[in-house]
Amino acid sequence: MHQDKQTRFVKETASRLGFDYCGIARATALPDDAARLETWLNKGFHAGMQYMENHFDLRTDPTKLVPGARSVITLLKNYYPAQQQAEGAPRIAKYAWGKDYHDVIRAALKTFLFELKLQFGDIDGRGFVDSAPVLERTWAQRSGLGWIGKNGNLLTKKNGSFFFIATLVTDLELEYDDPYAKDYCGSCNKCVEACPTAAILPDKTIDGGKCISYFTIELKEQLIPDTYRGKFDNWAFGCDTCQDVCPWNRFSKPHQEPAFDALPGMLEMKASDWDELSETRFNELFRHSPLKRSKFSGMQRNLAFLKLVPDGKADHP
């Protein structure tokens, strides 16, 4: 089969499996990204996320992830919801409203690779979704899907940024898309100005140690620093502020993936419901949710932190 037909099959299969975008780039080392990542790590912007230091060479060269790799296939899957949380409730990032996207997308990637092998024979490949040393946003840009915004997220002109990014590295030779060459952020600075903790720095750099998502998800078994009291804007798990204010997200459309629909009853939960939630009930409700990553103890810590105003007194009885 010629490369154009192979490429067409890849993109048609991606669409049939529920992915919203599919782009393909040549597998090659990323020296510029390696230099930026090294600088970012040396400045300590990864804070307590020590795993970011691991497998540096794998992050910047896909041919070391899959020997003989020729193509990096990047897939986007929309998770923008049609619903809203109850007013005044502790805020949960939209990506965490439904089932754990790792499980949903990993299953689709497994099927994707299986179908490629049925079609093309004994090819090699590995699929990744936010859980391996892959620079997903760089590959998305290199495969023509969008540009990296000032908030560090991948942005698309048609549908904004509420997408999960998945990557399939394979030794299959394909036709390659042109990189996305233009940056449409321009002089807009809304995400930088809106960030509650000033985590978005110039040159599309994120200080992970200041990000609300870091404190509410990645920070394990530690108290959130007192200096951030009153600055979380009621975010209890993750943060969508920089995406919510982005003008390109006015084009976001509700997803069509049932697995990403909000878990039953979660959006109706008020602050009192979260306060009264037992560990047993938490584990029952969120056993298939991204919230399980924080564990019950982590959510309790986050919720308690939101009740404190800067002087350290309770915000309400």
CA dist., res. 236 & res. 213, Å (int): 9
Q: Are residues 16 and 159 in the same domain?
A: yes
Predicted confidence (pLDDT) per residue in 4-47, tens digit: 999 999 999 999 999 999 999 999 998 888 888 888 888 877 77
Residue 316 in domain: no
- Say if residue 74 is in the same domain as residue 109: yes
Residue 179 falls inside a structural domain: no
**Catalytic sites, residue numbers:** 130
Tell me the β-bridge partners of 148: 154
Q: Give, in order, the Cα–Cα distances in Å from 208 to each of 141, 198, 212, 214, 254.
A: 22, 10, 9, 6, 29
Domain membership flag for residue 130:
yes
Same-domain check for residues 146 and 199: no
How far is the C-alpha of 139 from the C-alpha of 314, rounded, in Å?
Answer: 46
pLDDT at 311 over 70: no
Q: Identify whether 255 is part of a domain.
A: no
Whether residue 54 is found in the same domain as residue 93:
yes
Q: Does residue 143 sit in the same domain as residue 233?
A: no
- Max CA pair span of the chain: 69
pLDDT tens column, 221-234: 789 999 999 999 99
Same-domain pairing of 97 and 162: yes
Q: Are 96 and 290 in contact (CB under 8 A)?
A: yes
d(CA 22, CA 11): 6
Residue 177 in any domain: the answer is: no
Distance CA 229, CA 309 (A): 6
pLDDT digits (tens, 9 = 90+) for 174-192: 999 999 999 999 999 999 9
- The answer to whether residue 254 sits within a structural domain is no
pLDDT at residue number 309: 53
* Contact residues for 249 (Cβ-Cβ < 8 A; gap 6+): 80, 160, 161, 162, 243
- The Cα–Cα gap between 279 and 277 comes to 7
Same domain, 13 and 138: yes
Q: Is pLDDT at 258 greater than 80 in this prediction?
A: yes
pLDDT, residue 53, reads: 64
Mean pLDDT across 203-231: 92
230 is a domain residue: yes
Confidence at residue 127, expressed as pLDDT on a 0 to 100 scale: 94
Average pLDDT score over the chain: 92
Residues 112 and 222 reside in one and the same domain = no
Q: Are residues 213 and 123 in the same domain?
A: no
pLDDT at 230: 94
Tell me what the mean pLDDT of segment 271-296 comes to. Answer: 95
* Number of domain units in the chain: 2
Residue 257 lies in a domain: no
Which of 68-82, 98-112, 127-141, 158-172 is predicted with the least confidence, judged by mean pLDDT?
127-141
Whether pLDDT at 313 is above 80 = no
- Which residue range forms the structural domain that includes residue 271? 190-249+262-306
